[in-house]
Structure 1
Amino acid sequence: MSRTPSFALVTPLVALLLAAGCTSAPPGTPVPSVDPQATSATPAAAATTAAAEAPPTAVPTATEAASDATGFGLLTAVRVAGQGTTDRIVFEFAEAVPGYRISYVDLPVYSDPAGEEVPLAGTAALQVSLIGSSAYREVGDPEPAFDVPRRLSGDTARVTELVNLGDFERVLVWAAGVRGRTGFAVSTLEAPPRLVIDVAR
């Protein structure tokens, strides 16, 4: 009577034991804990996640800002409102964000080009000159494309009001009254083009 060789049954068992032995730690060796919530990620993915969870902006610190952009900015809207820890001023344009010069100035402020004193609430002013911008599409147009308000205000804490100082030779000048000078941040947005000024409260 023939018998099945015993090694045919033993070999799989030996392989299993060897495999178990290779993955087992020697007695007394601490076993690293595994966080069931942890997931592996590539450095790029981790960086993307960290960026997405980071605060949207740092505390505004600038006291002046400038841009030499050359596009023409046809003004279509102006807004001012509280935005979290800042007061936000927005200038919206039809085609492009123009160049600008933004800085604090002492009161009083003056109209451009007449040079007449313009009342403005606050202890200082954040003056915004939009270079290559106008509410008029063409020089000499009898009516502006946007009916610019003389002054406006919103639910703000630092900014008292925003006043229009002039629209002359493709330079728009505005001034925001403030209750004390704080840092600000300037950014631009697209669709539609906007210049955003966040003034720290």
Structure 2
Amino acid sequence: MKRRGCSLSAVGLAACLALAGCKEAAPPAPATPPAKTQTPPAPPPSAPASATDSATAPPASTPPPAAEPPAAKEPEWIQAKTNVPRSGQKSATLREVRAARNEGFDRVVFQFDGETLPGYRIEYLDGPAIRCGSGDPTEVAGQGRLQISLQPAQAHDENGQVTIASRERTAALPVLQELEQTCDFEGEVTWVLGVKQPQAYRVLELHAPTRIVVDVRH
């Protein structure tokens, strides 16, 4: 009985082993550790835009426009005395005196050599015109006498020859009646304009050629 039992036991053991080999599962594969999630590196901070970056740079400032030069002031019409002295310069030589009618005024032009203008004193006389050499009064047509003294100036050349041939002239103009030179002495030249009656006048200084212009309003 014991041998049978042992035999059965051996057979049973073999059967059990056989059954165990059939049912035995393959050992589980080792667990794969979860993959590490890699965080992408942060982008480097962007560099500040340069001053020449057209997208971010402030617009270039536009320089202000150049200032316009002031316009030449129109000379005023006056009846008071005008005095513009110029000293310390060579005498300007008077070469021509002419008169003409213009729209609204009569014009007298005193033209000089070179580019230097003399000083001038212009005024209406209360009394008669006076010749500077003799001190004698002289008659000038019209109810008003506008005297124009130029200094330093001369109406003769270096040899003493006069540069203005006609020193007394009649003028048949709306206001201007007569022109007379009353002085050419010691650097001063004086002319007197005889006008119908005292009217406002203005003075202009012109160049190329050099001129002093006196306009008497109609």
TM-score, with length taken from structure 1: 0.66
Separation in structure 2 between the aligned mates of residue 85 and residue 59 of structure 1, nearest angstrom: 14
Matches within 5 A, 1:83-98: 83-95=102-114, 96-98=116-118
2:177 corresponds to 1:157 = no
2:124–2:147 Cα contact (<8 Å) kept: yes
Which amino acid is 2:217 matched to?
A: A
Distance 1:179 1:57 in 2: 25
**Match for residue 73 of structure 1?**
92
Equivalences for residues 14-163 of structure 1 within 5 A: 60-70=77-87, 71=89, 72-95=91-114, 96-138=116-158, 141-144=159-162, 146-163=163-180
* Structure 1 CA distance for aligned equivalents of residues 74 and 169 of structure 2: 26
Which amino acid counterpart does residue 142 of structure 1 have in structure 2? G
> Which of 60-69 and 166-175 deviates more?
60-69
The separation in 2 between residues aligned to 1:155 and 1:44, in whole angstroms, is: 47
Which residue identity lines up with residue 189 of structure 1 in the other structure?
Answer: L
| Aligned mates of 1:148, 1:173 — CA distance in 2 | 15
Aligned pair in 2 of structure 1 residues 154, 122: CA closer, same or farther (>3 Å)?
Answer: closer
Q: Distance in 1 between matches of 2:142 and 2:214?
A: 18
TM-superposed deviation, 1:66 = 1.6
Cα 1:178–1:185, aligned 2, differ >3 Å: closer, same or farther? same
Q: Answer with 1 or 2: which has the greater Rg.
A: 2
Q: Which amino acid aligns with 1:195?
A: I
Contact between 1:80 and 1:153, CA under 8 Å: does it hold in 2? no
Q: Which runs of 5+ in 1 are unaligned?
A: 1-41
Aligned length: 151
Distance (whole Å) between structure 2 residues aligned to residue 80 and residue 115 of structure 1: 27
Query: Cα distance 1:58–1:130, how it changes in 2: closer, same or farther (>3 A)?
Result: closer
Identical amino acids, percent of aligned pairs? 30
2:94 partner letter: L
State TM-score, norm by structure 2: 0.62
Shift of 1:137: 3.0
Q: Distance in 1 between matches of 2:148 and 2:161?
A: 23
Describe the shift of the 1:189–1:86 C-alpha distance in structure 2 as closer, same or farther (beyond 3 A).
Answer: same
Going from structure 1 to structure 2, the CA distance change for 1:109 and 1:160 (only over 3 Å counts) comes to same
Provide the aligned C-alpha RMSD in A.
2.5
Instruction: Report runs of 4+ in structure 1 exceeding 3 Å deviation.
Output: 42-45, 56-59
1:198 correspondence with 2:212: no
- Aligned partners of 2:120, 2:174: CA distance in 1, in Å? 24
Distance 1:148 1:66, change over 3 A: farther
Do 2:122 and 2:146's aligned partners in 1 also have CA atoms closer than 8 Å?
Answer: yes
